[in-house]
Chains A and B, each alone.
Chain A
Amino acid sequence: MAKAFLSGNEALAQGVWEGGLHFATGYPGTPSTEILETIAARFPEVECQWAVNEKVAVEVAGGASFGGARAMATMKHVGLNVAADPFFSLSFAGASGGLLIVSADDPGMHSSQNEQDNRYYARAARCPMVEPSSSQEARDFAIQALEISEQFEAPILFRMTTRICHSKGIVETGSRKEVPRKGYKPDPQARVLMPSNARKRHEWALERARKLEEFGNTCSLNRWEKGSSKVGVVTSGVAYNYVKEVLPEASVLKLGLTWPLPWGLIEEFAASVEKLYVVEEGDPLLEKDLKAHGIRCTGKEVIPITGELNPEIVRRGIAPGSARAQAREPAPAPSRPPVLCPGCPHRPVFYWLRRMRKSTSGDIGCYTLGAIPPLSAMDTCICMGASISGLEGLEKGAGPEAASTLAAAIGDSTFIHSGITGLVDMVYNRATGTVLILDNEITAMTGRQEHPATGRDIRGNPAPTVDIPALCKAVGVERVQVVDPYDMQAVRAALKEEMARRELSVIVFRRPCVLKERSRKKSYAVVDPEKCTDCGACLRLGCPAIEHKENHAWVNPLFCYPECSMCVQVCPTKAISKKTDQ
């Protein structure tokens, strides 16, 4: 056994590698992204790839499992919505090679559009669920989950949360156990889910759940930590850690196999304590199940549903008055919202739309920051791909006049993920909107992952490349152009022309993300305070390198991006120029 300091995501990658995983796929999404990145970087024995989207990932992983390999698909919580269709069906069809579907939930919405609790999915799809509480458990449980999956022929919903994914802890690691691939054995009665088969498979899945419930009563994933008989706590996931901090004396039933629930164990535990709490992050799922089972307990009466839990929230809920010192109130401090980077090629598009009193039907990515002042050029952001279909719907609902005040703004990775189908729908249904593909040649928000239009695979090897403009033309868009977003006047002209036109068009704004190709030049913008009239034009770019001094603008040379000259181009008095240090 070696020791390593690993995040939950790294530990999960370590665990599936040790457990003999053959194949992994997924779509990037905070907080799940580093699971596949770790496999790609450290574990060459595992074939590993980015998928076009989560639905495809789960289908490919399911196929790999049918083929007898140990397989995994990773995604963030909302990704499982995209993949829900194959996920439900695979639960009925069953797994051959061990199959993990990893859902990384984001309580507190650090980087997400909603706070859904994906533990519902296990119950709805009758799919067993495993939840680790720490990096060590992410590694340990991953190994066990692959075994359980094969033993019960069930995909396993492996549920992580932000705080598990991105916290680091010391992990005892082992070496890889090579597991032979089982080979492909057709089983159409289980896997051709037409009604006559699916009815039988539903019964089968219920019977599987009954067996898993029995298994859970003795399985090491569920742990009874004997303590005081006065207070007992049923808990799972990250909440366990907070319970141990604030009530170290309590008896704890820590659940790791959290669906189906081990009722024998829970009944015995509940009967052994005088007062029973359920401490769970998110919705009251355990609590409601316990109450429906006739077990008296206290849960969401004292623990909030929304947001992330933390030690002080759990202390207030189950150990009020136990704090050593009264914490102070937070001090007021200036807000610091995330912003587009200096030199970000998305900026000119939102800058001009704002100036033209237009806006966007937005999408998921860095460019969602175009909604924030001073750019403030986004009306909607719903889910991956909805910029395009939403704009089409706006035209149907409010008429072409209203729709022409907006353009759809979508990134290259998001377009590949689920924008293409929307664009086909626009062509087919005679929509007239303007679609802006903000192509920075990378999946930027999640930390720069490759995708099918970047020309590289997850391990950085050359890969076949989707030609985005050619694809748009191929599905029937006649007006397609590519514009360099660093050319401010070209951006303005293209937006003006296409948005005035009652005809479907696509503008691809193409320039690499500034974090993808860091410039080595030592060049930065300098403001001549004599020429600066303090008009504020450059400040409206919302560039974090540009500050306002007493009566003029000032560019911080440490932040300024060498290749960018947006502020130089928008300054009406030519007060800004680029200076190059040798």
Chain B
Amino acid sequence: MSETTTNVLLCGVGGQGVLLASEVLSAAAMLSGRDVKKSEVHGMAQRGGAVTSHVRWGEKVHSPLIETGTADVILSFEPGEALRWSHYLRPGGVILTAKEPIYSVLVSSGAETYPEDVLQRLEERAGRLIPVDALQEVTALGNPRAVNILLLGMLSVFVDIPADHWKEAIQARVPKKTIESNLRAFERGRELAGS
């Protein structure tokens, strides 16, 4: 089945807006007439822990979970998280990631070290890696909370969903006052991914 199925794994840290991004992505895929499934875990996992969301779309999707080694794109809000889930990527797959690391309490307190060569390690595992200064980019656009939409803009270059559906999905799901700045973030994301 998965010949016709697109698999995107979103990952980040609780509170970063990963789940809103996967809502927008799923809505855009649904608007383009596909069967869509999305899966994530709530509860204990949310309290500053690692958050992932699996989004799959195609003609008919059974499993709500992506199989390891089959994700077309990993869309990551934090580079260490991209590394954690990089075994989901298919050979030749794309990793799009925000560059800014977020240290866990264990790293802050010195109990663990953060892999400072994380981007290099991602490069080794990805068919293509595009790291961006996501927070800096969206702050420059006037909405520091739009990292998720910026990343979706990058994703839109690599998946087959028409632009109108993206815009409709964004407008329906972000706070009204921020629609303009989010749409700008989306366009900036497309530029950064080289559209």
Smallest Cβ distance from A373 to chain B, in angstroms? 7
A241, B35: Cβ atoms closer than 8 Å: no
Please measure, in the bound complex, the distance between the C-alpha atom of A369 and the C-alpha atom of B13, giving whole angstroms: 17
Task: Please choose the segment from A137-145, A179-187, A543-551 that sits at the chain B interface, where 4 or more of its residues have CB less than 8 A away.
Answer: A543-551
Complex CA–CA separation, A245 to B70 (angstroms): 12
Indicate if the CB atoms of A547 and B103 lie closer than 8 Å. Answer: yes
Is B49 in contact with A334, judged by CB distance below 8 angstroms?
Answer: no
By the criterion CB–CB under 8 Å, are A326 and B36 in contact? no
Interface residues of A in 493-528 (CB under 8 A from B): none
Bound CA span A338–B46, Å: 7
A49 within 8 A of B: no
Closest-by-CB residue of B relative to A327 is B69
**Chain B, 94-136, contact with A by CB distance < 8 Å: what is the 0/1 string?**
0000000001111111111111000001000100000000000
Across the interface, B50 reaches (CB within 8 A) one of A248, A332, A336, namely: A336
Number of interface residues of A (CB under 8 A): 59
CB within 8 Å of B: which of A216-246?
Answer: 238, 240-242, 244-245
Interface residue? A31 (CB, 8 A): yes
Segment of A166-174, A200-208, A349-357, A410-418 engaged in the interface with chain B: A166-174
Stretch of B37-45, B157-165, B184-192 that contacts chain A? B37-45
Complex alpha-carbon distance, A547 and B114, angstroms: 13
CA distance A337 to B106 in the complex (A): 8
A110-B48 Cα distance, complex, nearest whole Å: 14
Q: Which residues of B contact A374 (CB under 8 A)?
A: 105, 109
Interface assignment of A470: CB less than 8 Å from any CB of chain B: no
Is B83's CB within 8 Å of the partner chain A? Answer: yes
Quick one: which of A327, A336, A446, A546 has the most chain B CB within 10 A?
A: A336
Q: Tell whether A5 is near chain B: CB-to-CB under 8 Å.
A: yes
8 A Cβ contacts from A102-151 to B = 110-111, 134
Contacts of B36-68 to chain A: CB distance below 8 A: 36-50, 61-68
Complex Cα gap A245–B64 (Å) = 10
The answer to whether A162 and B30 touch across the interface, beta carbons within 8 angstroms, is no
CB distance from A29 to the nearest CB of B (A): 9
* Among listed A82-90, A308-316, A452-460, interface-contacting one: A308-316
Is the pair A310, B49 in contact by a Cβ cutoff of 8 Å?
no
Known: A170-B36, A323-B69, A336-B13. A539 touches B109 (CB 8 A): yes
A366 within 8 A of B: yes
Give chain A nearest CB distance to B142 CB in angstroms: 16
Q: A70 at interface (Cβ–Cβ under 8 A)?
A: no
Chain A stretch 312-356: residues in CB contact (< 8 A) with chain B: 312, 315, 323-341
Residue count of chain B within 8 Å CB distance of chain A: 60
Check B68–A312 contact: CB distance below 8 A: yes
Query: Does A447 belong to the interface (CB within 8 Å)?
Result: yes
Q: Which residues of A from 234 to 284 have beta carbons under 8 Å from B?
A: 238, 240-242, 244-245, 248
Cα distance A241–B61 in the bound complex, in angstroms: 9
Q: Is A485 an interface residue when CB atoms closer than 8 A count as contact? A: no
Asked if A5 and B36 sit within 8 Å, CB to CB, the answer is yes
Contact of B37 (CB < 8 Å), options: A169, A328, A330 = A169
**Is A575 part of the binding interface, using a Cβ–Cβ cutoff of 8 Å?**
no
Q: Which residues of B contact A134 (CB under 8 A)?
A: 64
Given contacts A337-B49, A445-B43, whether A548 and B109 have CB atoms under 8 Å apart is: yes
Say yes or no for A385: interface residue by CB 8 A criterion.
Answer: no
Alpha-carbon gap, A312 to B88, bound state (A): 11
Q: What mask results when residues 10 to 27 of chain B are scored 1 for a CB within 8 Å of chain A, else 0?
A: 000110000000000011
A419 is an interface residue with CB less than 8 A from chain B:
no
Please give me the residue from chain A that is nearest to B110 by CB atom: A548
B59 to chain A, nearest CB (A): 12
Given A5-B36, A324-B70, A326-B69, also A334-B41 (CB < 8 A): no
- Does any Cβ of B come within 8 Å of A299's Cβ? no
Q: Do A248 and B1 contact each other (CB < 8 Å), given the known contacts A167-B64, A312-B67, A324-B70?
A: yes
Say whether B83 contacts A333, CB under 8 Å. Answer: yes
A35 to chain B, nearest CB (A): 13
- Whether the pair B80, A334 counts as a contact (CB closer than 8 A) is yes
Q: Which residue of A lies closest to B30 (CB)?
A: A5
Are A542 and B44 touching (Cβ within 8 A)? Answer: no
Contact A5 B111 (CB under 8 A): no
The reply to whether A30 and B68 contact each other, CB–CB distance below 8 Å, is no
Contact A166:B42 (CB < 8 A) given known A310-B67, A327-B68, A337-B106: yes
**A110-B44, A245-B67, A334-B113 known; A167+B1 contact, CB < 8 A:** no
Q: How far is the CA of A548 from the CA of B107 in the complex (A)?
A: 9
For the complex, is B87 an interface residue (Cβ under 8 Å from A)?
Answer: yes
Identity of the chain A residue whose Cβ is nearest the Cβ of B106 in the assembled complex: A335
Q: Which residues of A contact B35 (CB under 8 A)?
A: 169-170
Expressed in whole angstroms, the Cα–Cα distance for A222 and B102 within the complex equals 48
Complex formed: what's the CA distance from A374 to B108 in Å?
11
Known: A169-B35, A325-B70, A373-B106. 20 other contacts (CB 8 A): A5-B38, A30-B43, A110-B41, A111-B44, A163-B39, A168-B37, A169-B38, A170-B30, A242-B63, A324-B69, A327-B67, A327-B88, A338-B14, A339-B104, A341-B47, A341-B48, A369-B47, A374-B109, A544-B105, A548-B109
Q: Can you sample 6 A-B contacts with CB below 8 Å?
A: A163-B39, A311-B66, A324-B69, A325-B69, A328-B125, A445-B43
